[in-house]
Structure 1
């Protein structure tokens, strides 16, 4: 099992400054920072934060949009062993208070306002509900005076087993969960997937995910730091500005949401952006036709917040064996995966669908305010709630969420299976499937009419899986999402019932 060259953030930052001093580590729409500059600026900021009372184990919330400053603050905190609690910029007032309380945040660093959210004003009436919260700072008022020489000494005391971050995820339903990751388990998880994601020191990586999600923090920032690569990011992705950013920075690897890649691809000619620097391993919608693989030939990288990002995959620029097409590749080194019966927990043989359970050194350390026995099985596996099967060669196939599957006329429908089939139809940008009053409902990004879609779907799906309720939408913006970015299935079901047409 390949282990990262550095197993804590303090060591990783210093190593990057030694190996790649002049390489840019982070680029946003307005600025950039080299590895040497990251080391110097975060050392200064870390000294000020330590002098102000923040140290090993201190829980610090961070609410900021993507950018160079987010990275500087996050790295400064983790260099002195503080626990980073990245918080979504999408949180409404009650959600913000609940997150701060769940993670027992002691210090909060937040912008005053972003995209209509006024975090300081939202928080002010509720400070009495947060006894752990000692201070709230805006980024421009952070303490910056301290002993910089002491920062490396403090960093040397940070151990791989120390908590790095608390990442929030909503799961499929219910209140958000504060997922606890250590320096060692997080960096190990990221390192195990670098090769599959085609990230090395020459990579200029664009990831659309916010840095407060594991997709942005782990698959973006920490991936860049471990590989010596450059992360390119922006506060608010929009097709024209994103395409110009990709062109200007000669981005070589575009990872993230297939929906966004497809939306950008539809605007490339109109904007006139040169994306010739993109290489195989990027999402295929943005690659020229001669570099694209057949549908299903490349792995759908699969993971979750609890595994600190992808835990299963296959090299993104290489076709899998034909028998594995449509799969999520194989589990990465350091991750054990088993399939169990949903009801009994009995391990299932290859080919049978059941709940995916994971175990290993890269899995989270725990969940805030929950006992270990509430989170893990007696033998240390984490029940993910995802459904899947393993084939005889160890490739993992995903079949949706155990709480999303539903019955139609007594037969089981897996939404992910229907979504995958609909996405494969010409003219379909994306599809989102759920149960609506005992029937299959689908929200589809497409210009095709409903009858045309229904006829096409019948050719690739069994009759009981073909949606009977269709809602055509123009873009992903119409799909309701939670603060974590996951589809809000309950809201989607309501919209389908209200706006869907029968076909």
Structure 2
């Protein structure tokens, strides 16, 4: 699975002989081109940003690649990187790839069960550990996971920008511990771009997540394509507020670097501080869920910071608030577009062009970002290809598609003719463009009709008393699925469930009207690497309990 990186797609590299082949080569060429340009803005623990030049980023990459060589890290090895959004995390991505090994990112919020699972699946030879970050005892969690899994890695202790001097001695979990130097090293030998470079955890809607791995060539090709489609150029600033361990944050930051832009990294999220940075550093691009920008909007409503530099927001509608947030950002001059992606096909695999009119431009999906990415929609039961306009499962083939799963086979991931099964329902608009509907398991079959719950959620959210809405399906008295809504009230309002049912009945088809709407103080949520999502399974349990008079 290969693709050709076209030089003209990367504004920083106009000449054909300068086209980079993978991420380490990209950093090398950026440094050679202009070593003093700021590549990364690091945020220190006290909230101050520190500029990291292209030259410094490449120097640190060289030094770490040499240390990894000395520690025996080579082709096919997994290196777990357990740290927040620091420039160190980017250095580890590049240096590990230079050794033809692959990074498995671990979210700093992961608990013991998740870390144990990753150790068992990825079996990393080395863990780069941000011990002491944000008061978290990651070492204690790692020790417990090592004991449970039986996987005993080396540990490299990293303290990040402005952090204390590392103390590796206390971090040995059985295979030794050390701390990377920040001196220099030789240029690493050219690496094979077809070696695996990074693996991401999947959403894990059932059971524990899988680890979807991609090659170095695929990472760079996708970064180049995203940079071109998003209109990123040198001088732009990409906000990296989502964890690099997740595909959403990773792909946006890689696109910025591929364009020769600056990436602003936020290791923790404080809305007021991030808004200060957006204004001070003239941020131009952000890709995130609506949950993150909702928090920015709440902070902005108090201080009205200058957002005039913010040109583009690629949104995933996790909480049903993208339309109202798009209206707010439109007043600031920001273009908002729905996006599509996953760990298996990369984030920002598709987005809508600027000339796509709203509200269609705000829906999930879009036009694929690379001409070698093919997309089709099929009957989810038979894999029969459907014509444009008919709803079915969205499937992909191309350089963005997962190259391997670490530690486990996934026999049903691909069709017999080699297409990746996304598990998402959608509608093909024309060749290369599609509208995302919902996860196949979230679609509601109401009186024989397949219904996207987001349609009902949008109607509920349009009521002035409703701040957030979510709809789930549960079995009714006769065993058929019924829709049940949950809403969080707008501050100072007291909506009534029966009134909201009537509100839906006024405009929706009868079979789409929820059987009940419950007002709750807060939605049950889960925080993942790509943002905060509402836990539909928990709401289904609540709906069932209330129907039985238990809640």
TM range (shorter): 0.7 to 0.9
Which of 378, 388, 405 is matched with 1:367 structurally?
405
* Distance change >3 Å, CA 418–CA 441, structure 1 → 2: same
1:287 corresponding residue in structure 2: 329
Match of 1:464 in 2: 511
Mapped pair 1:195 → 2:228:
yes
**Does residue 306 of structure 2 align to residue 263 of structure 1?**
no
Aligned to 1:328: 365
Q: Residue 242 in 1 paired to residue 285 in 2?
A: no
CA contact (8 A) 1:340 1:357 kept: yes
Is the Cα contact below 8 Å between 1:45 and 1:143 reproduced in 2?
no
Aligned to 2:31: 17
Alignment match, 1:386:
424
- Partner residue of 1:107? 126
| Aligned 1:118-197 pairs, distance under 5 A | 118-139=137-158, 140=166, 141=168, 142-144=178-180, 149-153=185-189, 156=190, 158-197=191-230
**Aligned partner (choices 74, 92, 114) of residue 95 of structure 1:** 114
- In 2, Cα distance between the equivalents of 1:120 and 1:362? 34
| Pairwise CA distance, 1:358 | 0.5
Q: Secondary structure at the match of 1:243?
A: helix
Deviation at 1:464, TM superposition (A): 2.7
CA distance in 1, matches of 2:235, 2:183: 35
Q: Deviations over 1:64-86 (max 9, x none)?
A: 12222322333332233221110
Q: Assess, with a 3 A threshold, how the Cα gap between structure 1 residues 145 and 111 changes in structure 2: closer, same or farther.
A: closer
Task: For residues 282-321 of structure 1, give each alpha carbon's deviation from its aligned partner in whole angstroms, at most 9, with x where no partner exists.
Answer: 763553527367xxxx641111110121222223x43349
Of 381, 386, 392 in structure 2, the residue corresponding to residue 354 of structure 1 is 392
Whether the 8 Å contact between 1:330 and 1:396 is mirrored in structure 2 is yes
Which of 334, 344, 356 is matched with 1:319 structurally?
356
Unmatched runs of 5 consecutive residues or more in structure 1: none
Partner of 2:482: 439
1:455 CA drift (Å): 4.4
- 1:479 and 2:498 matched: no
Q: Which moved more, 1:176-185 or 1:273-282?
A: 273-282
| Residues 341, 347 of structure 1: 8 Å contact kept | yes
CA distance in 2, matches of 1:50, 1:392: 48
In 2, the alpha carbon distance for the partners of 1:460 and 1:392 equals: 29
Whole-angstrom CA distance in 2 between matches of 1:429 and 1:371: 42
The 1:414–1:134 alpha-carbon spacing in structure 2 relative to 1, beyond 3 Å, is same
- The CA distance in 2 between the partners of 1:499 and 1:277, in whole Å, is 48
Cα distance 1:146–1:85, how it changes in 2: closer, same or farther (>3 A)? Answer: same
1:107–1:285 distance in 2 versus 1, CA, 3 Å: farther
1:105 CA drift (Å): 1.2
Query: Alignment length, in residue pairs?
Result: 492
Tell me: CA distance 1:423–1:211, structure 2 relative to 1, closer, same or farther (3 Å).
Answer: farther
Structure-1-length-normalised TM-score = 0.87
CA distance in 1, matches of 2:181, 2:134: 32
> Of 375, 380, 384, which residue of structure 2 is paired with 1:342?
380
**Larger CA deviation: 56-65 vs 407-416:** 407-416
Taking a change above 3 Å as real, the CA distance of residues 217 and 185 of structure 1, as seen in their structure-2 partners, is same
Find the aligned partners of 2:101 and 2:368 in 1 and give their Cα distance.
31
- C-alpha separation in 1, matches of 2:360 and 2:145: 56
Cα separation, partners in 2 of 1:122 and 1:324, compared to 1, 3 Å: closer
TM-fit CA distance, 1:23: 2.4
**For the Cα contact (< 8 Å) 2:236–2:261, is it kept in 1?**
yes
Residue 48 of structure 1: aligned partner: 67
With over 3 angstroms needed to count, the CA separation of the structure-2 counterparts of 1:247 and 1:327, relative to structure 1, is closer
- The 2-side partners of 1:93 and 1:364 are apart by 26
Residue matched to 1:204: 237
Q: How large is the RMSD of aligned CA atoms in angstroms?
A: 3.2
Query: What is the CA deviation profile of residues 406-435 of structure 1, one whole-angstrom value per residue up to 9, with x for unaligned ones?
Result: 223343222233344545566755433322
Question: Is the aligned partner of 1:218 residue 2:251?
Answer: yes
Specify the alignment match of 1:278 in structure 2: 310
Secondary structure of 2:292's counterpart equals helix
Which residues of structure 2 form unaligned runs of 5+?
A: 11-18, 45-49, 159-165, 169-177, 316-325, 476-480
What is the CA–CA distance in structure 2 between the aligned matches of 1:136 and 1:400, rounded to whole Å? 40
C-alpha distance after superposition, 1:385-425 (max 9, x if no partner): 00011124653111111111222334322223334454556
1:81-135 residue CA offsets vs partner (Å, 9 max, x unmatched):
2211101222111221111110121111112345675332123245355455331
1:311-335 per-position Cα deviation (integer Å, ceiling 9, x unaligned): 22223x4334998774622223221
